[in-house]
A and B are shown apart, each in its own frame.
Chain A
């Protein structure tokens, strides 16, 4: 059974349908890739799922329960977390405290439990040595890991990753991919928005493709890569020279 479903989701900004009648579903434990050219509606769809935007039409269903219309913190507590495209650490807090916020509020843990879990999670994502650092003074790749750690700390079963690998070099990308596979092994479901094709093709079980707010393809990485509409969206129409 699908753990998360979007049914006929539509979100307008003025007259523009940023997301237009999109249906999708994610199975428990799946890694779903989401790709599409700039402005295709990927981030908007994430924000609709998270409750940042209320869909104008359609609904988001988490484990059989409609969640669209709820506020982001409620949705977070129900089991969906998101890492942002633009990293937003709580810069005056230490790395550990950043992750604590997720445990204390997203998962409603006591201080001692939240601290213990936060330390484990930081070890897991490879930030164990930085836990006492001010999060404003760590590098960008580390900040991206920190976002991920905070999302895990909320206890979410589904993690939405919005371009978590942007700005990373190939070695760093490999490390993040390894980490994402580890996270999946723990039973989490991931939805990955990514522009780096090699990364998203390599890690996803299934990929959906958006273009101008509409879903144009849904299938395995190989199917999607050979889909006419997808090639057209990325490379433009084939021109026939007679």
Chain B
């Protein structure tokens, strides 16, 4: 499987397929980032796109105005996003439930407004407001295919590592009963902030890569709340809080979108909505989560 994915660009597949696979990799990355904070801790982040957008702009500005190399730019994107996540996370991660969701949503919308209005307000030409920024023309799709593959493996790998680490136990304990976790010696605020910053780092990095891929970004594109919603839906579909849930969910949804978009260009969103509702109703823990529960139940019956 792994070698197969490495060789895809050499197998003579169409450019379309390579582009589609790269898209899937980036969606897995984004949904995986959301899953690290929200899947593990249960703090539902509706502002994830904020870090994606910040990352997009950092890379766009560095590459178009500073002529900084791509790889350096995307790393700086990740670092800047993570650093912004610290002062945002410190107050918001003390909020519970819907309040955290609303606060993060407000953060992402505020960022969009800042990027839209900053230049006009201050009187400079830096973020270029609603006109957006054009990046240097990037290499071919194969390049982004490999970058996407690396990013996806990194996000999934870190999710897997977290699950098996002390840190992961802290996050799961926070998810189940935060007060009891704190009383059991878990530094709950620190663990939440750490997860939030890791999530923001990779979102920023992915934002940077995708900005270079798109070659043109505006605040409306990269701070679009629909991107956050996609991450949420993909994670929920695949199985929230599982390592491979976002992989399954993002692949499933992206492929469904592509297939339906081709055959039903006007009605595909209705069909996708129907499929999502059915999956949520029939598999409330997501595709992977439900399969895992079934397996555990079977094992339980066998041992009895």
Asked if A101 contacts B186 (CB within 8 A), the reply is yes
Asked if B182 contacts A101 (CB within 8 A), the reply is no
A101: B residues at CB distance < 8 A: 169-170, 173, 181, 184-186
A93 to B170 Cα, complex, angstroms: 12
Give chain B nearest CB distance to A75 CB in angstroms.
9
Q: Known contacts A100-B169, A105-B170; is A73 also within 8 Å of B176 by CB? A: no
Q: Known contacts A104-B169, A105-B166, A111-B166; is A90 also within 8 Å of B180 by CB? A: yes
**A97 at interface (Cβ–Cβ under 8 A)?**
yes
Interface 1/0s, chain A 98-109, versus B by CB < 8 A? 001110111110
A84: B residues at CB distance < 8 A: 179-180, 183
A-B Cβ contacts below 8 A, count: 79
Q: Known contacts A93-B172, A104-B166, A111-B166; is A72 also within 8 Å of B182 by CB? A: yes
**B281 at interface (Cβ–Cβ under 8 A)?**
no
B187: A residues at CB distance < 8 A: 71, 73, 105
**A76 at interface (Cβ–Cβ under 8 A)?**
yes
Asked if A73 contacts B172 (CB within 8 A), the reply is no
**A150 at interface (Cβ–Cβ under 8 A)?**
yes
A135 to B223 Cα, complex, angstroms: 41
Most chain B beta-carbon contacts within 10 A, residue among A89, A100, A105 = A105
Asked if A73 contacts B180 (CB within 8 A), the reply is no
Asked if B183 contacts A82 (CB within 8 A), the reply is yes
Smallest CB gap from B182: residue in A: A72
A150 to B170 Cα, complex, angstroms: 14
Partner of B177, one of A73, A88, A102, A111: A88
**B199 at interface (Cβ–Cβ under 8 A)?**
no
Give chain B nearest CB distance to A164 CB in angstroms.
14
B173: A residues at CB distance < 8 A: 90, 93, 101, 105
Q: Known contacts A88-B177, A90-B176, A92-B176; is A154 also within 8 Å of B184 by CB? A: yes
